[in-house]
Chains A and B, each alone.
Chain A
Amino acid sequence: MRRHPVWSWFWFILGILYFFIPLVSTLEFSLRMLKGRYTLEAYRVAFQDPRFYQSFGYSLLWAIVTIVISLLLVVPTAYWVQLKLPKARPYVEFVTLMPFVVPAVVLTFGLIRMYGRPPLVLTTTPAALIVGYVVLSLPYMYRSVDSGLRAVDIRTLTEAAQSLGANWGTILMDVIFPNLRVALLSGIFLTFAIVMGEFTFASLLSWPAFGPYIEEIGAMRAYTPQAVSLMSFLITWGSIMLIQWIGRGARGAQVQVGGAR
């Protein structure tokens, strides 16, 4: 089969075309705002809109809050499960698969019905949005952190630190985290990429964000939406490339299973 890689080349080139034609088209389209020549007019218009910065800023804020909460929720849990409670692993893994079972639009529906009325009203605050984003990030964050924890012998490290007299704070900050750096950064950047382009939660819960903003200007203008879409792609591209770059050579290179969007 190694004699004739002709078909292999054929499929590979077809794949590359599928990847790049939409990207090239988007770029070309975004440059065509002024008739008859290629200009950066669409980008100028995009950067002039104060709502561009506003929605981008909001998404940045949501992303940071989501990442912090997701880390606080996932890291201690995954560490504890690995160290003390392997019995709980199937249950934790089940929960991290739940966001695939309950798609974003269904979860939004449930959250609004559940927390849109007393006793606990969350939909009037960004809490419902953040909760949705944290749920969305759970599978990615957990998978990253868990594979990071499996790759190093967390138990020996912890016990060694303990026998040297370290307290839990020192163990976590000086021993565990440095060993988890790659895993944590992977989870963080993936969550960042997901939240920055997210549309469903923000749109249906009516909070300003970058995803709904792109959709809105798409209904009003031509060319600028493509310019902004390209920027959104760049954010995703940059995040994933960073993950791949920091994870190079790391053990247990992982497959990122995408969720529905």
Chain B
Amino acid sequence: MAVERSPRADARPRQDLGDAPSARPPRKPFSWTWVGVAPFFVFAFLFLFLPSASIFFRSFESLDHRFTFQNILDLFQKSDIRNAYKLSLQISAATALGGAFFGFLLAYAVTIGGLPRAVRNFMLSFSGVASNFAGVPLAFAFVATMGNAGLVTRIIESTTGIDIHAGGFTIYNFWGLSIVYMYFQFPLMVLIMAPALDGLRREWREACENLGGSTWHYWRYVALPILAPTLLGTAILLFGNAFGAYATAYAFTGSFLNLVTIVIGAQIQGDVLYNPGLGNAMALGMIVIMSMVMSVYIWSQRRAARWVR
């Protein structure tokens, strides 16, 4: 069969040189090779696409099953929902910025910061582990750290005499949860930034120095512009990472903090919004925000790839 022969005959050059506009036969009406990936796409259609589509369509359904824009409007108009989004966005932004900043400095320290090789391997290895510590166990670890009877709480009390929990202070709030999120945020930054920093070539720095540039010039005009897409991409990935988190927040604060994921979780367990359509609209809002996050991430990855050999 011609279909069988032609892709293999021209496959190697195509792989190496990109799509060569060679004398290929005109577009075939149907290629059996697509059947090989059918199970994968059927699965994705049934369990990713259909549920998402269902969320989309039901966002426009009123209580009496008519078409309405009210649910979407409610996302912006109802103060408790607006606040949930605000809080989720704030905590994601705070931990993404904090994680990116701290993670970058750590990655810098262990790659080109002049530390021994063993330190670098150690840090990267631990980052791989810590970026996967999340959810319920992480929440309990931080309760044991800075909760009422936590180790850090007691050490502070025994050394300075200050009970950090006195006077109604609680760790089960915005900043407490941010500290918990940071635990899996900055290791992810280390993991992604370390190879990027390794990719900075010595020649670039030398070229800069030969032209009379200082360290500041090098970072301002050479290194940071090259790293900028990776920095931005990873920061936005951290943002999405925090925005979609549910288990950690739920186990740490219960339902004290009204994050979007917590509200959606409550909506699943019992219609707390008294409006299924509004629940769908909230879920749709998350999908929209995460789509934007992933778009920026993919775009920045393409930009970053330019400088990678």
- A: residues with CB less than 8 A from B are 1-5, 7-12, 14-16, 18-19, 21-26, 28-30, 73-74, 76-77, 80-81, 84-86, 88, 91-92, 95, 97-115, 131-132, 134-135, 155, 190, 193-194, 197-200, 203-204, 211-212, 214-215, 218, 222, 225-226, 228-230, 232-233, 236-237, 240-241, 243-244, 255-261
Contacts and interface: CB of A to CB of B under 8 A. Distances in A.
Interface residues of B, number: 97
A24 B48 contact: no
B36 A84 contact: yes
B36 A101 contact: no
Give 7 nearest A-B pairs by CB, closest first. A110-B51, A103-B244, A260-B244, A8-B113, A29-B144, A199-B247, A5-B114
B305 interface: no
B132 A240 contact: yes
A29 B40 contact: no
A232 B113 contact: no
A259 B39 CA distance: 24
B208 to A, nearest CB: 13
Contacts of A105: 244, 246, 261, 264-265, 268
A155 B14 CA distance: 13
Contacts of A91: 41
A135 B49 CA distance: 11
A95 B246 contact: no
A29 B123 contact: no
B140 interface: yes
Given A1-B215, A84-B36, A101-B290, A211 B144 contact: no
Q: Which of B55, B110, B186 has the most CB of A within 10 A?
A: B55
A109 B268 contact: yes
Contacts of B115: 5, 8-9, 12
Contact of A261 (B186, B248, B287): B248
Contacts, number: 288
Contacts of A114: 50-51, 54
Interface in B28-62: 33-34, 36-37, 39-41, 43-44, 47-48, 50-52, 54-55, 58
A228 B137 CA distance: 8
Contacts of B126: 16, 19
Contacts of B134: 197, 258, 261
A106 B264 contact: yes
B245 A226 contact: no
Given A28-B144, A218-B136, A92 B131 contact: no
20 contacts: A18-B186, A19-B130, A26-B141, A73-B43, A84-B36, A100-B240, A101-B291, A102-B287, A102-B290, A103-B286, A108-B268, A113-B280, A114-B51, A218-B136, A218-B140, A229-B136, A237-B129, A257-B237, A258-B184, A261-B134
B155 to A, nearest CB: 9
Contacts of B137: 197, 214, 228-230, 232-233
A232 to B, nearest CB: 4
A10 to B, nearest CB: 8
Contacts of A233: 133, 137, 141
Given A18-B183, A215-B136, A259-B241, 8 more contacts: A15-B106, A25-B151, A76-B39, A101-B291, A105-B244, A106-B283, A113-B58, A229-B137
A7 B150 contact: no
Interface string B166-185: 00000000000000001110
A18 B145 CA distance: 11
Contact of B136 (A74, A194, A197): A197
Contacts of B40: 73-74, 77, 92, 95
B222 interface: no
A226 B138 CA distance: 10
B242 to A, nearest CB: 7
Contacts of B119: 12
A215 B241 CA distance: 21
Q: Which of B112, B143, B149 has the most CB of A within 10 A?
A: B143
Contact of A11 (B7, B105, B246): B105
Interface stretch (B67-75, B76-84, B187-195): B187-195
Nearest to A235: B137
Given A80-B37, A244-B125, A22 B141 contact: yes
Contacts of A260: 240-246
A198 B248 CA distance: 10
Given A1-B112, A76-B36, A110 B135 contact: no
Nearest to B292: A101
B100 to A, nearest CB: 14
A194 B48 CA distance: 19
B4 to A, nearest CB: 9
Contact of A236 (B129, B243, B294): B129
B85 interface: no
Interface in B71-117: 102, 105-106, 108-110, 112-115
B202 to A, nearest CB: 12
